A = this chain, B = another copy of it.
Amino acid sequence: MATHDGSTRYHHGNLRPTLLSVAKALLEEGGPAALSMREIGRRAGVSAPAAYHYFNSLDAIAAALAEQGFAELSESIDAALAGPRRNLLAGGIAYVAFARANPGLYRLMFGEGFQAYSKGNEAIRALRMQVYRQMKDDLEKRLTPEEVPNAALFLWSLTHGLALLMIDGQVEPGADPDARVEDILKLAGMGLPAAR
């Protein structure tokens, strides 16, 4: 491997996190399809099979990235819900902001390959559930129990769809995309003051 001073060592010393950060960079450069075991090794300054000491497969690397992503997304929503505007609108804005800041990762988390690499990954299932629960909990504060399931699916669909359309460049870029997101989400009636 190559080190910062140009020298070379047999043992990397910090390979696992390096692999993940290199993979994340690759993911944001070219989307999930750009993830490649050999390219990850190349950028980490290591042969491709070296990565197999830390991950069983390319899918395992994808799963690790997705897991990180769900954790980060969940934290980001938590922070928004704890902020000055503690309501679902703030949560939705944070959700879309995460997707826009990490388009490759978001596509990995919700895109076509998901079923493949998350097969039997309980951590991912749990984290994904947690994001959904954050929204449901808030809805339960002001809706009847029968209304909650449909309202939750409605909001998730809207937010997820908006995030993807923006990521895909399907939304004509105006001056202030964040304001646009807020306007759209408000149409769902999310802007009500939160019940305490």
Interface residues of chain A, those whose CB is within 8 Å of chain B, are 31-33, 107, 110-116, 150-151, 153-154, 156-162, 164-165, 168-169, 171, 180, 183-184, 187-188
Q: Please, which residues of chain B bring their CB within 8 A of the CB of A151?
A: 187
Pull 25 A–B residue pairs with CB atoms less than 8 Å apart, ordered by A.
A32-B112, A33-B116, A110-B164, A110-B168, A111-B111, A111-B112, A114-B168, A115-B168, A150-B183, A150-B187, A153-B162, A153-B180, A154-B184, A154-B187, A156-B161, A157-B157, A157-B161, A157-B162, A157-B165, A157-B184, A158-B161, A160-B165, A161-B162, A161-B164, A188-B188
Chain B min CB distance to A189 (Å): 9
**Copies of this chain, tallied across the complex:** 2
- Say what secondary structure dominates the interface of chain A: helix
A183 to B156, CA, bound (A): 14
Residues in B with CB closer than 8 Å to A184 are 150, 153-154, 157
Assembled-state Cα–Cα distance A159/B159 (Å): 11
Q: How far is the CB of A144 from chain B (nearest CB, A)?
A: 14
Tell me the bound Cα distance from A168 to B110 in angstroms. Answer: 8
Smallest Cβ-Cβ distance to A32: which chain B residue:
B112
A33 vs B110: C-alpha distance in the bound complex, in angstroms?
15
A171 to chain B, nearest CB (A): 6
